[in-house]
Amino acid sequence: MFSTLGIHQRKLLLVFGLAIGGLVGSLIMGDAKQWAEIDWLDVLGEGGTAIALAVWMMLILGSRPAGRVTDLLTLGLGFMFLAMWQDNLDEFIRLPAEQFWDQWLESGAMPVGVMLLTYGLVHWHQEQLSINQQLRKREQLFREHRFIDNLTQLGRVDYLKEQLQGVMTQLPAQKMVLLMVDVDRFAEVNRLHGHREGDALLYELSELMLLNLRQDDLICRYAADRFAVLLPDTGVDKGKSIAAELSRAVQHFAYKHKTSGETLYQTISIGLADWQGEPSDLLIKRANQALANAKSGSGFGEVA
């Protein structure tokens, strides 16, 4: 979180600089109230709201990249924070009536902040819809973090079985293809370049394959360097076409070594099994057998 805050230094300096400026200005131009004059209920409400707005702003900046949506959300919360901050200062400091800036900051900053925050939330909503559309290839029907692989952020084999069972139960007449994808000579990558480099390669390959699938397709990490790809509403011919596209995408992917910058080209082997009404475990078994046939064939990336 703190590393991400570093890219938002200017926004933080602007908001908290204005807050400190308001405090200094109030101290210079106003007089401190007597202890008995302070309404502590207002202090609790207004001060607590100001603190909550500041925390929300920090959480947003600590979890988002720079960009228009982040700027809008920050400015909206920042203006609202400044309004509540200045309102809270008035509980401790009495300003002369002719000091118009105090009233403007209290009354003007809040509606401006609300409008900016609302506009930012609209764009954030659109952003989330786009992200969710991409996530559908990872998590087809629901999100279960206990089913997510920590390295690739794809579903694990348990999640794959859950989705297969759901499709088989709800759409028993639908065509479906299951691909088993294995990275060729991956053990050699780990041996020559180390497991950390191998993990980075697996993650980037998973992202590459994800980008080359359709919206309703699902990719999961089956085990180690093996991935399972579920292609709903798909026949054998279309499944072979998608498998060939995945193979070409990986073959032309120029992965760069994180330390040396060396290019490491990879290939994959793919086994294909179309659903013939059997239970999910048998479909997975046939796909694995097809993969074994492909790996023992005349070339890499063959579809059995």
DSSP assignments along 165-232, one per residue: HHHHHH-TT--EEEEEEEETTHHHHHHHH-HHHHHHHHHHHHHHHHHTS-TT-EEEEEETTEEEEEEE
Q: What is the mean pLDDT of residues 11-39?
A: 81
Q: What is the mean pLDDT of residues 220-247?
A: 93
pLDDT band at residue 298 using 50, 70 and 90 as cut-offs = very low
With a cut of 50, say whether residue 301 has pLDDT above it: no
How far is Cα 138 from Cα 105, in angstroms, rounded to an integer? 47
pLDDT band at residue 269 using 50, 70 and 90 as cut-offs = very high
pLDDT of residue 142: 44
**Which among 247, 296, 297 has a CA at the least distance from the CA of 270?**
247
| Cβ neighbour number for residue 37 with a 10 Å cutoff | 10
pLDDT tens-digit map of 49-78: 989 998 998 888 877 877 888 889 988 998
pLDDT band at residue 167 using 50, 70 and 90 as cut-offs = confident
pLDDT of residue 300: 39
pLDDT of residue 177: 95
pLDDT band at residue 141 using 50, 70 and 90 as cut-offs = very low
In percent, the amount of the chain with pLDDT more than 70 equals: 88
Phi, psi (rounded to 5 degrees) for 116: -65, -40
pLDDT of residue 221: 92
Q: What is the mean pLDDT of residues 253-258?
A: 88
Residue in the block written with tokens 């780990």? 190
**Which among 140, 144, 132, 129 has a CA at the least distance from the CA of 229?**
140
pLDDT of residue 252: 93
Strand-strand pairing, 263-264 and 255-256: antiparallel
3-state secondary structure of 235: coil
How far is Cα 148 from Cα 59, in angstroms, rounded to an integer? 24
pTM beyond 0.85: no
Q: Compute the radius of gyration of the chain from its Cα atoms.
A: 28
Return the DSSP state at 148: B
pLDDT of residue 51: 92
CB-facing half-sphere around the CA of 181: CA atoms within 13 A? 32
Per-residue burial over 186-208, b if 16 or more Cβ lie within 10 Å, else e, is: beebbeebeeebbebbbeebbeb
In percent, the amount of the chain with pLDDT more than 90 equals: 30
With a cut of 60, say whether residue 13 has pLDDT above it: yes
Q: What is the mean pLDDT of residues 115-125?
A: 91
pLDDT band at residue 26 using 50, 70 and 90 as cut-offs = confident
Residue in the block written with tokens 């990249």? 65
pLDDT tens-digit map of 181-224: 999 999 898 888 888 999 999 999 999 998 899 888 999 999 88
